[in-house]
Structure 1
Amino acid sequence: MLDASVGRIGALQCRIISPRAQIEIKQMMPVWVPGRPRRRKDAEDITRLEVALGEQDARPA
């Protein structure tokens, strides 16, 4: 899950959760935590992440 690079803001460093892991977490949370409702925000985030990944994959190297 934390397979992406280390991020930094000023002196603060932290591991970055990959976009694909973020998508999986948002899709699976209602399965992993029964009774947790699916949220509109999560669906919007998933769409936004998928679009960004598609645009990223289409860019020339």
Structure 2
Amino acid sequence: MTVLLGTERLEALSAIRLSVRTVETTSPTRQRSANQQSAQALGARIVGEAEDLDVSASKTTPSIGQS
């Protein structure tokens, strides 16, 4: 998670990363929850999320969506 300073309220970008996705995969949900908890502890608001699931980081960049 990246926290941006210089605003009235801290803003954060949540990053979810997983190299190999399977039916049993729970890691993205756990990562999202951990990022939300970290943002809350810092008093930050998550303003977006970059998600990179089942894609090699060396072959592409994360897709970015709004939360």
TM interval, shorter chain, is 0.3 to 0.5
Please give the TM-score of this superposition, normalised by the length of structure 2. 0.32
Please identify which structure carries the higher strand content: 2
Larger radius of gyration: 1
Please give the TM-score of this superposition, normalised by the length of structure 1. 0.34
- The higher-RCO structure (CA 8 Å, 6+ apart) is 2
